[in-house]
């Protein structure tokens, strides 16, 4: 099954079951996160799928999890990319946090104010389906609700101002997530992750080369903090980011960033790069 969060006419959102290329059945929750917070969410979706329900089409996708309590990201996680950079594989995952305000919809225009080094990071994201605390890898695997597509868009000038990346990773409404969550029971094996700038392929990786796979990551994080239904874990990006190019390459005003995972879906975001902030901040 594929689930989505749709923008409704009343400026609210609704969770929905995807039934076709532009057809959905409304689910009784304001978004996919609120749906997952109901322990019987699978039964709820199956009932709607069987009995039918309120059909929707012609609407826009919201961020999949507009109110995610935790958005935890992993850096330096693709083995082939790490090795091509001449580094050793890490013993522990490099983790950092975002807030729900950082997220935006899969087709939203992304406005960036105050950065001139806007870079891309195409990623598989894992949606948590049940509470996890100090869980082992098997428990973590069973707690995965599904998978979605994200782009950890990074303001490299801000990211590299200090040792901690947070300020370059947490600009409001700059991380697109969606368009849908593919439920874990229909995801077998690994995913191809691709990123394109104005149609040109710039990133390509397979999640089989992740140093810390989804279950391992969730288990690790749950050793120190509880994960709840609707929390989101971004698994890191393969090689091909703009910062790593010679010369470095960043997004320009008007560029289109496409992020694609076979079997899940595609983000397509236009960028507006606005003037930098005044020098005194």
For 44, phi then psi, to 5°, come to -60, -45
Binding mask 52-71 for its own copies (x = CB under 8 A): -----------------xx-
Yes or no: say if 272 and 252 are a contact pair by the CB < 8 Å rule: no
Q: What number of residues does the chain have?
A: 281
Helix, strand, or coil (residue 166):
helix
Stretch that binds its own copies, among 3-11, 25-33, 129-137, 252-260 (CB under 8 A): 129-137
The two beta strands, 265-273 and 110-112, are parallel
Task: Quote the least distance from Cβ 92 to its own copies, whole Å.
Answer: 4
- Of 42 and 216, the one with the shorter C-beta distance to its own copies is 216
Peptide bond into 179 cis (omega under 30): yes
- Of 49 and 95, the one with the shorter C-beta distance to its own copies is 95
Both tokens of residue 12?
């609210």
Both tokens of residue 252?
């320009």
Helix, strand, or coil (residue 142):
helix
Task: Quote the least distance from Cβ 153 to its own copies, whole Å.
Answer: 12
Give the integer Cα–Cα distance in Å for 231 and 198.
31
- Of 172 and 253, the one with the shorter C-beta distance to its own copies is 172
Task: Quote the least distance from Cβ 15 to its own copies, whole Å.
Answer: 22
Both tokens of residue 266?
């595609």
Give me the residue label for tokens 């989804």: 214
Stretch that binds its own copies, among 44-52, 118-126, 133-141, 175-183 (CB under 8 A): 133-141
Among residue numbers 180 through 239, which ones bind its own copies (CB under 8 A)? 219-221, 223-226
Interface with its own copies (CB under 8 A), residue total 43
Residues that bind its own copies (CB under 8 A): 69-70, 72, 75-76, 90-99, 101-102, 113-114, 133-134, 136, 155, 158, 161-167, 170-172, 219-221, 223-226, 277, 281
């Amino acid at each position: 099954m594929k689930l989505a969060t749709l923008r409704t006419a009343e400026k609210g959102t609704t969770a929905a079951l995807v039934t076709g290329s532009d057809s959905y059945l409304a689910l009784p929750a304001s978004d996919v996160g609120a749906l997952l917070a109901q322990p019987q969410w699978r039964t709820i979706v199956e009932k709607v799928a069987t009995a039918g329900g309120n059909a929707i089409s012609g609407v826009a996708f919201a961020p999949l999890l507009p109110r995610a309590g935790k958005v935890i990201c992993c850096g330096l996680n693709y083995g082939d990319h790490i090795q091509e950079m001449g580094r050793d594989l890490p013993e522990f995952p490099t983790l950092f946090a975002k807030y729900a305000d950082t997220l935006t919809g899969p087709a939203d225009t992304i406005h960036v104010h105050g950065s001139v080094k806007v870079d891309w990071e195409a990623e598989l994201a894992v949606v948590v389906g049940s509470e996890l605390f100090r869980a082992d890898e098997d428990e973590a695997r069973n707690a995965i609700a599904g998978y979605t597509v994200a782009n950890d868009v990074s303001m490299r000038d801000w990211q590299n101002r200090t040792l901690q990346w947070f300020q370059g990773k947490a600009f409001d409404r700059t991380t697109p997530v969606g368009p849908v969550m593919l439920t874990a029971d229909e995801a077998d094996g690994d995913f191809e992750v691709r990123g394109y700038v104005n149609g040109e392929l710039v990133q390509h990786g397979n999640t089989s080369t992740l140093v810390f796979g989804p279950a391992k990551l969730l288990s690790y994080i749950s050793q120190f903090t509880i994960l709840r239904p609707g929390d989101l874990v971004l698994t890191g990006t393969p090689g091909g980011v703009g910062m790593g190019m010679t010369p470095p390459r960043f997004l320009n005003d008007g560029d289109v960033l496409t992020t694609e995972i076979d079997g899940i879906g595609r983000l397509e975001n236009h960028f507006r790069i606005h003037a930098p902030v005044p020098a005194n901040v």
